[in-house]
């Protein structure tokens, strides 16, 4: 019972741990200050925008957090709770429009990026800084500034604007391709695979060997107890459970079978007891249906 409670406590704490780690993984990934012919908002207008990247592998809800362009005013724009649009999927993106028109929806901020020197995210307590991005003074129309790799530390002007998409646009070799170049004949992967198999088998052997000692039952002692002499009380209960007429019928059938005076038939004896709660002589069906004349 103690172990069960321990697992319940751990299961209740893990989601909170994952959520806190997810909040800290939010990164201001890309910004556009001057938007002349670039990304348009849901009203068909071109404004500055801020892209935020979730660097973790769990969902993160930005509801209740704050966005600001002034570190002295960390609670400048409050992100309302309960809107599914503020939930960022794992390794996903979200875009806020910096147009100083908050009446158009929760994705529209109450400040602009033109003339701003910084953009920052604060947690729901309005004090803890999650991430910030310093905006350089020199800005070019339709050229974004941000992290050269999603969530990475290196900053610079990006070759392409990628709102709600990865900042890495060139072809990048996957880990599998890199490993394939390092091991073209597959010798290393074979050794790794066989090692994993043998280690797994060894662990399973140890596990089952130890658990069999703990949970094994002494079946021989159980069978010996069943075959041993019965107590007088158990015999009396068995004798009382069989009616006398049933025992007499079984004894007669066995006698006829062993004396070979019984008809040749199957050696299966079936006895069906029919209990009548009334006497057929007093039944109404045998009475007179009409009065005699």
Please indicate, yes or no, whether residues 149 and 87 belong to a single structural domain of this protein: yes
Does residue 283 fall inside a structural domain?
A: no
Mean pLDDT of the chain: 80
Asked if 167 and 146 count as a contact pair (C-beta separation under 8 A), the reply is yes
Please indicate, yes or no, whether residues 62 and 184 belong to a single structural domain of this protein: no
SS3 assignment, position 31:
strand
Please indicate, yes or no, whether residues 136 and 45 belong to a single structural domain of this protein: yes
Does residue 116 fall inside a structural domain?
A: yes
User: Cα separation of 55 and 88, whole Å?
Assistant: 10
Does residue 114 fall inside a structural domain?
A: yes
Does residue 145 fall inside a structural domain?
A: yes
User: Cα separation of 101 and 112, whole Å?
Assistant: 9
Does residue 233 fall inside a structural domain?
A: no
Radius of gyration for the alpha carbons in the chain, expressed in angstroms and rounded: 42
Please indicate, yes or no, whether residues 26 and 149 belong to a single structural domain of this protein: yes
Beta-strand relationship, 26-32 and 87-88: unpaired
User: Cα separation of 42 and 57, whole Å?
Assistant: 28
The residue among 116, 134, 169 that closes a domain is 169
Please indicate, yes or no, whether residues 111 and 204 belong to a single structural domain of this protein: no
Q: Per residue in 190-227, pLDDT tens?
A: 888 889 999 999 998 888 887 766 655 555 555 555 55
Please indicate, yes or no, whether residues 181 and 165 belong to a single structural domain of this protein: no
- Residue 177, pLDDT above cutoff 90: no
The residue among 141, 169, 197 that closes a domain is 169
Please indicate, yes or no, whether residues 9 and 144 belong to a single structural domain of this protein: yes
Q: Which band of pLDDT confidence, cut at 50, 70 and 90, is reported for residue 269? A: low
- Cβ neighbours, 10 Å, residue 81: 13
How much of the chain, in percent, has pLDDT values that exceed 90?
51
Does residue 93 fall inside a structural domain?
A: yes
In this predicted model, which residue has the larger pLDDT, 223 or 103?
103
- Residue 237, pLDDT above cutoff 80: no
User: Cα separation of 183 and 175, whole Å?
Assistant: 12
Does residue 225 fall inside a structural domain?
A: no
Kindly provide the residue ranges of all beta strands, DSSP E only, lying in the chain, ordered along the sequence.
Answer: 26-32, 48-54, 60-61, 66-68, 77-78, 87-88, 93-98, 118-122, 129-134, 145-147, 155-157
- Residue 17, pLDDT above cutoff 70: no
Structural domain for 190, as ranges: 177-214
Q: Per residue in 55-92, pLDDT tens?
A: 999 999 999 999 999 999 999 999 999 999 999 999 99
C-alpha neighbours within 13 Å on the C-beta side of residue 17: 6
- Residue 236, pLDDT above cutoff 90: no
Does residue 79 fall inside a structural domain?
A: yes
| pLDDT given at position 19 | 44
User: Cα separation of 254 and 193, whole Å?
Assistant: 69
| pLDDT given at position 20 | 44
Please indicate, yes or no, whether residues 49 and 157 belong to a single structural domain of this protein: yes
Residues forming beta bridges with residue 48, ordered by sequence position: 98
Q: Count structural domains, the chain.
A: 3
User: Cα separation of 276 and 279, whole Å?
Assistant: 7
Rounded to whole angstroms, what are the CA distances from 249 to 197, 245, 253, 261? 66, 6, 6, 15
Residues forming beta bridges with residue 54, ordered by sequence position: 26
Beta-strand relationship, 66-68 and 87-88: unpaired
Q: Which band of pLDDT confidence, cut at 50, 70 and 90, is reported for residue 124? A: very high
Please indicate, yes or no, whether residues 109 and 54 belong to a single structural domain of this protein: yes
Please indicate, yes or no, whether residues 9 and 128 belong to a single structural domain of this protein: yes
User: Cα separation of 135 and 216, whole Å?
Assistant: 69
* Range in 90-94, 147-151, 234-238 with the lowest mean pLDDT: 234-238
Please indicate, yes or no, whether residues 77 and 54 belong to a single structural domain of this protein: yes
Q: Which band of pLDDT confidence, cut at 50, 70 and 90, is reported for residue 243? A: confident
- Residue 271, pLDDT above cutoff 70: no
**Across 148-177, average pLDDT:** 87
Asked if 77 and 121 count as a contact pair (C-beta separation under 8 A), the reply is no
Please indicate, yes or no, whether residues 7 and 94 belong to a single structural domain of this protein: yes
């Amino acid at each position: 019972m103690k172990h069960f409670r321990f697992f319940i406590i751990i299961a209740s704490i893990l989601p909170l741990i994952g959520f806190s780690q997810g909040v800290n993984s939010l990164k201001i990934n890309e910004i556009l200050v001057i938007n002349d012919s670039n990304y348009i908002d849901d009203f068909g207008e071109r404004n500055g925008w801020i892209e935020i990247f979730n660097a973790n592998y769990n969902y993160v809800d930005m509801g209740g957090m704050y966005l600001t362009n002034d570190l002295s005013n960390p609670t400048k724009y409050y992100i309302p709770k309960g809107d599914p649009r503020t939930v960022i999927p794992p390794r996903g993106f979200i875009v806020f429009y910096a147009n100083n028109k908050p009446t158009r929806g929760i994705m529209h901020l109450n400040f602009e990026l033109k003339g701003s020197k910084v953009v920052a995210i604060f947690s729901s307590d309005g004090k803890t800084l999650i991430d910030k991005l310093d905006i350089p003074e020199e800005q070019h129309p339709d050229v974004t500034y941000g992290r050269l790799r999603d969530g990475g530390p290196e900053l610079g002007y990006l070759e392409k604007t990628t709102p709600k998409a990865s900042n890495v646009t060139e072809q990048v070799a996957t880990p599998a391709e890199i490993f394939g170049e390092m091991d073209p004949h597959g010798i290393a992967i074979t050794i790794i695979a066989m090692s994993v198999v043998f280690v797994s088998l060894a662990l399973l052997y140890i596990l089952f060997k130890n658990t069999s000692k703990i949970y094994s039952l002494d079946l021989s002692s159980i069978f010996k107890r069943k075959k041993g002499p019965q107590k007088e009380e158990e015999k009396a209960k068995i004798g009382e459970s069989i009616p006398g007429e049933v025992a007499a019928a079984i004894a007669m059938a066995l006698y006829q079978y062993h004396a070979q005076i019984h008809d040749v038939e199957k050696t299966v004896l079936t006895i069906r007891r029919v209990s009548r709660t009334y006497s057929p002589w007093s039944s109404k069906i045998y009475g007179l249906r009409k009065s005699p004349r």
